[in-house]
Amino acid sequence: MKTILITGASSGIGKASAETFADRGWNVVATMRDPAAGADLARRDRVLVAALDVRRPETIAAAVEAGIERFGGIDTLLNNAGSNVPGAFEEIPAERTRDIFEVNVLGVMDVTRAILPHFRARKGGTIVNVSSPAGIVGLPLNSLYTATKFALEGFSESLAFELLAQNIVVKLVEPGLVRTNMTVGWLGSLAATEPIADYADYVAATVAHYEAMIAGGDAPETSMDEAPAVAQRIFEAATDGTDRLRYLVTAGAEALVGMRRDLPEEEYVRTVRSLFAA
């Protein structure tokens, strides 16, 4: 029986993934900052709920050790924990910038670093990193999240080459718009503590455009998938037995990334600028 360790499993894609893997016979180490948030998961026979804050290395080591002790080993790591800090870059406090990098980039690196000795000792393993089309395409009011996902994409791609010789496979799962606590209502949590008047018109127009996209939902790039559907694709990626690196898992992701990859550079930039003109 195989075992997966999942970060950020208290809600959204992480929780849905914990349920999906458990339903398919896997042991699950469902980690989260506050284990009380995983009470319903903890009632499952094959699920261990453990405290893990990706910003605190000591909790990472403890969760990995607890998972190994409970289930005898870990076969797959799902780096899912993440955060978003939307808004115009200049308006976002520097401490918020450091915080999102600690969670979305350094946290992934620290959890990965903690599991690698175990995977090497077992002569294999799988690492699945939850990324985003934002790791391929830059969009306004999303600069910090985009920067972290660009970093995650580069880290994962480089790591995939290094680890294949150790029989450790790295995969990137890149969902588009997904209906989770982090994505639904993110526009209402713009991070500016002291808004700059020069940005006001552009921010208002851009927020209105995003809201119209999400409310419309008819075009592929604006449709929102549910977390269980993404969790199913994560399960497929983790168990397909290949060394494939990237998985675009929603219609929105495919449409957005397709535009970035298919259009000539200048045409692509003009298109995006026209979409978000104030």
Handedness of CA 17, 18, 19, 23 (dihedral sign): positive
Question: How far, rounded to the nearest angstrom, does the alpha carbon of residue 179 sit from its chain's CA centroid?
Answer: 13
- The more confidently predicted of residues 211 and 28 is 28
Is the model's pLDDT at 278 over the cut of 70? no
Mean pLDDT of the chain: 90
**Catalytic status, residue 145:** yes
CATH value at residue 137 = 3.40.50.720
Distance CA(40)–CA(218), nearest Å, equals 34
Question: How far, rounded to the nearest angstrom, does the alpha carbon of residue 188 sit from its chain's CA centroid?
Answer: 20
- The answer to whether 147 and 132 are in contact (CB under 8 A) is no
Strands 168-174 and 125-130: parallel
Q: What is the mean pLDDT of residues 217-233?
A: 72
What local confidence, expressed as pLDDT, does residue 250 receive? 74
Tokens 């003009």 appear where? Answer: 270
Q: What is the mean pLDDT of residues 38-49?
A: 97
- The answer to whether 75 and 6 are in contact (CB under 8 A) is no
The pLDDT tens digits of the residues spanning 6-26 come to 999 999 999 999 999 999 999
Tokens 């319903």 appear where? Answer: 40
The pLDDT tens digits of the residues spanning 70-105 come to 999 999 999 999 999 999 999 999 999 999 999 999
Strand ranges in 113-199 using DSSP code E only, listed in sequence order: 125-130, 168-174, 178-179
Q: Which among 131, 132, 143, 156 is annotated as catalytic? A: 131
Q: What is the mean pLDDT of residues 40-44?
A: 97
DSSP label at residue 105: I
**Catalytic status, residue 247:** no
Q: Which among 15, 145, 156, 210 is annotated as catalytic? A: 145
**Catalytic status, residue 223:** no
What local confidence, expressed as pLDDT, does residue 186 receive? 54
Is the model's pLDDT at 253 over the cut of 80? no
What local confidence, expressed as pLDDT, does residue 106 receive? 98
Q: What is the mean pLDDT of residues 146-169?
A: 98
- The answer to whether 103 and 81 are in contact (CB under 8 A) is yes
Distance CA(148)–CA(83), nearest Å, equals 10
Q: Which among 17, 143, 149, 199 is annotated as catalytic? A: 149
Helical (H) or strand (E) element with 5: strand 3-6
Q: What is the mean pLDDT of residues 269-278?
A: 81
The whole domain housing 154 covers 3-275
Total domains present in the chain: 1
Tell me, what amino acid is at 65?
A: E
- The more confidently predicted of residues 276 and 246 is 246
